[in-house]
Each structure stands twice: as C-alpha cells, then as structure tokens.
Structure 1
Amino acid sequence: MTEANLRLLDGGMGRELQRIGAPFRQPEWSALALIEAPEFVLQAHRAFIAAGARIVTTNSYAVVPFHIGEERFAAQGRSLAERSGHLARQAASESVEPVTVAGSLPPALGSYRPDLFDHQRSVEIHRELIAGLQGQVDVWLAETQSSIAEVRAVVEALGADPKPLWLSFTLLDETGAPPRLRSGESVADAVRVAIELGAKTVLFNCSQPEVMAAALAEAQRVDQHLGQTLELGVYANAFPPVSTQAKANSTLLEIRADLDPESYLRWSRSWVAAGASIVGGCCGIGPEHIAQLHKHLLPQEEEAGA
C-alpha cells in the first residue's frame, strides 16, 4: 500500500469530548454530549476534519441500552442515532475536501464482552440504530466487534442495505501469539466470515498498537488465498492492556503516556507498510495525532492545499 492511497479516519470521540469540556461520565460515555450538548459533538467532528480526517464516524457508539439504559433507548434511541448522523453529515458537508460519513454500529451489549452477546437482542438494537442513521451515512462501520457472532447480527439487522459494509474487530492485547479476537476466535476465521458476509473493508480497532501488524498480515494472507480485494485498516487505542476479566466500560481506563502523536505516527507507518489503506485512532487518539498523520503520511494532499 502506498501513502498516496491512504485515507485518514478520525480518532476517539469519547475522550475528545471529555478533553474539550463536554458533559461526560459513565455509563453514558460519548452519548451524554449527544443528549445534553450536541454542539460539542459537532465541534469534535470539525476538529478531526481540520486535522486531516477524511472519514468521520457518527457518535452513535454509546447509543445502546448498556450505556443510556433500556427506558431511554426505547424512547430516544432512534432519534439520538439520527442526531448523531445529522451532526456528522453537517461537519462533512462543511469541508472543502470530500469526507465520508461512517455509521457507527457498536457492540450492542457491551464492549470487549462477547460473553454478554445475545443474537436476537443485538439485531433489535442495531435495527433501531440503522433506522436512525439511514440517509445520513455513506458506509456502515460495525466497530469494536469482539466476536464473529456480533458481526453476523449486524449483517442480519442491515438486511439488503446496499451501502458498503466495513467490519472492524477488536483484538486480545497479546503479543507473540497468533492474533485473536477478544472471543478467542482467530483473525483468519473472522476475515473469512467478513468476506462471506460481503464486507468491503476489514479493520482492527480499540486494541493496542502492538497487536495490529500481525492482524493485518493474517488478514492479507486470507484475502490473497481467497483471491479477494479487501481494503484493510487500523485504528488503535491508547489504553494499556485490557484484562479479559474486565467488566465492560466499568471505569475510565488510563491513557498511555508513550503514545504521543510522534509515537503514533511511527506505528501508523508500520501499518501502511503492512497493507493498511485506512488509518485513524480509537480511544485516546485525538486531533493532534490525526494532524501528525496528515502532515507526514499525506504529503501530496498537504502540498496541494498549501
């Protein structure tokens, strides 16, 4: 993959909202600003676009009962998803450069917790989100998916929707071993299923930078073996390793001090060299990181705009 073909995704919305002073707490996470102060969500989208992101993700990740409660989700889930889509679309439409809006479809029943999965309930939750986001997004991004079962539920909820499907898996924070989803399933199996389900793009997100290159290599191996042409991407987080026993979003995890923009750029270069054509950031990766990638990985775009 050459840097000329690279597209930059935005960074972690939740921590950026917290940083700029938006209402922010557990369990609502990034949904709280969407509910109480949506102008902060628009501000965050604009900041990532100004930094160089050309793909922005709707702030619908926490619009699930796990975060906002069953009662509020039943009453407002669809309208909040719609609001998140409108805000992302507004920010994208303001840009002089084309910006893709990715509709975030999160793990419906808790991040990093494949053990909490329930197929029918996941399908129901995703159908509400999809109904709200419909008409505002260019692609569907099922992100932070911990298991193959989770992505199957997303695809069932989408039905025959024609928009491109992007599937993004979160990995066990283990180095020196074959890359695995947080369910323990292999990346190879996940990529095979992604192709079977019609995904156009496979990404890896919300895991440490250290485990991403191995996942990319495995994805490329499967893609080539099956004669496919998947687009691959990475957006890592800035968390320390997360225990498999951790309760989903039970606390605000610390942010690593060693993942400053320059360090994240070095990791990103390795992912581009390994075949990633989409690079961005997840939790703890802000506009300053994306700006560094834009400056050093996209020199042609920078010169054109100078």
Structure 2
Amino acid sequence: MTQTAPSPVTVLDGGTGRELKRIGAPFQQPEWSALALIEAPEYVTRVHQSYVDAGADVITTNTYAVVPFHIGEDRFADQGATLAALAGSLARAVADAAPRRVAVAGSLPPICGSYRPDLVDIDRARPILAVLIAALAPHVDHWQAETLSSLSEAELVGELIAPTGKPLWLSFTLDDTHPGAVAQLRSGESVTDAAVLAQRLGAQAILFNCSQPEVMADAVRAARAACPLPIGVYANAFPPQPEETEANAVLLDIRADLDPAGYAAFAQSWQAAGATILGGCCGIGPDHIAALRALA
C-alpha cells in the first residue's frame, strides 16, 4: 500500500512579547509587547528577523497589545494608528529583505481582553479594530485574527476586513482547562461551529492558538471533519491556568517540558491530525520555530 506524502507545512513565527523580554527590550505591564514599539522599535525588528532566520514563512505584526486594554484609552486615541502603522512597516521591511518569500500577517487581537468571552463587547471593539485595520492594510499580506474566544468576535472581524480584499485567517483559543474533553472555544461554542463559520466568512484558514498543546490535536480533527480549509496550530507554553485567567494580565510561568524538542513532538501530532500550518504563541521562541522548520 502506497503511503500518502504529508502536505507541505507553512511555518509561522513564535511569540513576540516573551521574545522581546528575553532579548532585553523595554517590557512591562500593562503595555506588554507594545512598549518596545513605543520606546525601542529596533527590538521588534530583531524579533522579526530572528524568526525569519529560524525558517518562518510568516511573521506577525506586533499589534496584539496596541489596544486600549494595554496602552490605555488616551494613548490609543492619540497614537494607536501610528503605532499600528509602525508595526506593519517594521514587519514588512523584514519580510521584503528576506532571501525567500516571507508573508506578513496583520495581527488583529481580541479587543476587550484575551481568554474572556464574557467581556466581549462588539460595539466597543468595532471602532478599535477599524483603526488597526486601516493602519495595517498597506503592509500586510493577510489578516490573522488571533486568540478569538467566541464566534461573535470572528464575525465582526470578517465584516470589517472584507473591504480590504485581503485574505483572512481566523485563529481561535480553546478551553484548555479540561484536556481530553470535547474541543471547544473558551466561550463553550464548538470547534465545529467555528470551522463552519470560518468557511462562511470566506476565511482561507482556520487556526487554534494560545492554548495548551494537549488540546490542539482534537480541535484539528474536529475542524478537519467540518470544513476543507487549511488548519493551523500555534500553542502557548503556559501551565494550566484557572478559568478566570486573563491572557497577558500577568507574566505567567513557562512549562519546562516545552523545550524545542518537546514542542516539536506535539507539533508532529497536530500534523498527523491534519494541520498544515504550524507555529508558536506565548513562550515559543526562535529555537522552537527552527525545530518546526525541520519537520516541514
């Protein structure tokens, strides 16, 4: 019996905030990864370059924390568009200088707090996302709506990016408090419904991010059964967290078992389940991405 060769893998970059902190960039709460963008953008360029050097096919704009939740209402009103445009131009410059094709993903974060579907406020999120989209649009190859904990967030992004004509990748964060349970979003909505919605919105990929690696393979299988879209995974390296945890609200510990080899072993299971897009989220750095490149 002839074995089917695995599908080609697209390698994403890893986490930005933790990598900025590791290399000595300005980094503190509440600004998180936005502080380097504000005070020392050369560090952001260094992080992008490190992921390109590690073999990433896609680098992500450093806009996850360019929201009032992190930089404050007044600063966002005054500088949000400028900072988002700077983040886009920094990523674009690194991608354009690469010796091979590297795409730029425009990061569109959850506006009202990560991991908190109970805080989702579509009316509040709409104008903030509109600022990010307008500022990033000239610089990005596709949109990457990240750490979505509910279907309503995805629907809003789909609506707002449609006029740009640029492809959309939707990435959902999973309930990882009970590994082994049926895969679902942090809202309790099903992965199947998320996959169906992604297809209806015309997304070009569905991904799962910022969740423990143990829950990813089941989500990949559920998405694969529900829709034909390419599927991606970029897990975090956090230990299990209480359900009330808010991502990036505190500096969480990193699991000792998720070194590059340990993370790559999980990635092989995601690939076996049907994922063709692999990368890393919080706590996953360039060495991890190099290990994923070796799998591709």
Report the TM range for the smaller structure's normalisation. Answer: over 0.9
The Cα shift of 1:53 comes to 0.4
Relative to structure 2, which stretch is displaced further, 133-142 or 248-257? 248-257
1:124 matched to 2:122: no
Per-residue CA deviations over 1:37-73 (Å, capped at 9, x if unaligned) read: 0000000000000000010000000000000000000
Gaps of 5+ in 1: 224-228, 299-306
Distance 2:20 2:286 in 1: 11
Distance 1:165 1:171 in 2: 19
Task: Kindly indicate whether the alpha-carbon contact (under 8 Å) linking 1:147 and 1:183 is maintained by their aligned counterparts in 2.
Answer: yes
Identical counterparts, % of pairs:
59
1:221 matched to 2:228: no
TM-score by length of 1: 0.93
Distance 1:210 1:279 in 2: 15
Distance 1:111 1:35 in 2: 22
Alignment of 1:68-217 (within 5 A): 68-173=71-176, 174-217=178-221
TM-score by length of 2: 0.96
Per-residue CA deviations over 1:67-90 (Å, capped at 9, x if unaligned) read: 000000001101100000001001
Distance 2:5 2:142 in 1: 23
Name the residue aligned to 2:26: 23
Equivalent AA in structure 2 for residue 189 of structure 1 = D
The Cα shift of 1:160 comes to 2.3
Task: Kindly indicate whether the alpha-carbon contact (under 8 Å) linking 2:112 and 2:119 is maintained by their aligned counterparts in 1.
Answer: yes
Distance 1:244 1:74 in 2: 31
Name the residue aligned to 1:297: 295
Per-residue CA deviations over 1:216-241 (Å, capped at 9, x if unaligned) read: 00001101xxxxx3011000000011
Distance 1:247 1:171 in 2: 13
Q: How many residues align?
A: 292
The Cα shift of 1:165 comes to 0.6
CA distance 1:96–1:71, shift in 2 (3 Å)? same
Distance 1:248 1:287 in 2: 21
Equivalent AA in structure 2 for residue 179 of structure 1 = A
The Cα shift of 1:242 comes to 2.2
Gaps of 5+ in 2: none
Distance 2:29 2:100 in 1: 35
Name the residue aligned to 1:246: 245
Equivalent AA in structure 1 for residue 216 of structure 2 = M
Cα root mean square deviation, aligned = 1.2
Equivalent AA in structure 1 for residue 255 of structure 2 = R
Find the residue that maps to 1:160 and give its secondary structure: helix
The Cα shift of 1:293 comes to 1.6
Task: Kindly indicate whether the alpha-carbon contact (under 8 Å) linking 2:137 and 2:164 is maintained by their aligned counterparts in 1.
Answer: no
Equivalent AA in structure 2 for residue 27 of structure 1 = P
Q: Give 4+ residue runs of structure 1 displaced > 6 Å after superposition.
A: none
Equivalent AA in structure 2 for residue 23 of structure 1 = P
The Cα shift of 1:117 comes to 0.9
Equivalent AA in structure 2 for residue 258 of structure 1 = D
The Cα shift of 1:248 comes to 4.6
Name the residue aligned to 1:236: 235
Equivalent AA in structure 1 for residue 121 of structure 2 = D
